[in-house]
């Protein structure tokens, strides 16, 4: 699996443990775990102190799935206070088509 845009890792590499955060990632609060996958897929949902209903629902589903499978959900399940990866920061998108963000 490859990253969809550099320096954004693929969700697969995060979940299987092959993604190693850089110092910039660590300073931005991006550490290995399910929270980073949320940040990759929904970057604007993670910058706040309180996660949205959408993010909390995803985390609850993930926790329920890991419980059923009897595996640990791991650390860093939440994405609150994580900054988006540079390629997904709206100030760095340049001419890239911006997809609308729908909020429930």
In the chain, what are the domains?
11-90 (1.10.530.10)
CB-neighbour burial class of residue 94 (10 A; exposed 0-12, middle 13-18, buried 19+): exposed
pLDDT band at 51 (very low <50, low <70, confident <90, very high): confident
Whole-angstrom distance, CA of residue 57 vs CA of residue 63: 10
Q: What is the mean pLDDT of residues 91-104?
A: 46
Flag whether pLDDT at 101 surpasses 80: no
DSSP code of 50? S
What mean pLDDT, rounded, does the chain reach?
82
pLDDT band at 103 (very low <50, low <70, confident <90, very high): low
Q: Residues of the chain with pLDDT > 70: what percent? A: 77
pLDDT digits (tens, 9 = 90+) for 59-76: 999 999 999 999 999 999
């Amino acid at each position: 699996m490859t990253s969809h845009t550099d320096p954004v890792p693929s969700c697969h590499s995060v979940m299987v443990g092959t993604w190693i955060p850089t110092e910039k990632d660590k300073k931005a609060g991006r550490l290995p775990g399910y929270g980073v996958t949320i940040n990759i897929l929904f970057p604007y949902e993670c910058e706040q102190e309180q996660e949205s209903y959408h993010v909390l629902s995803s985390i609850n589903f993930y926790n329920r799935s890991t419980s059923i499978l009897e595996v640990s959900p791991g650390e860093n399940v939440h994405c609150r206070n994580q900054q988006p990866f540079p390629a997904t920061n709206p100030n760095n998108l340049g001419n890239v088509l911006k997809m609308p963000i729908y909020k429930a």
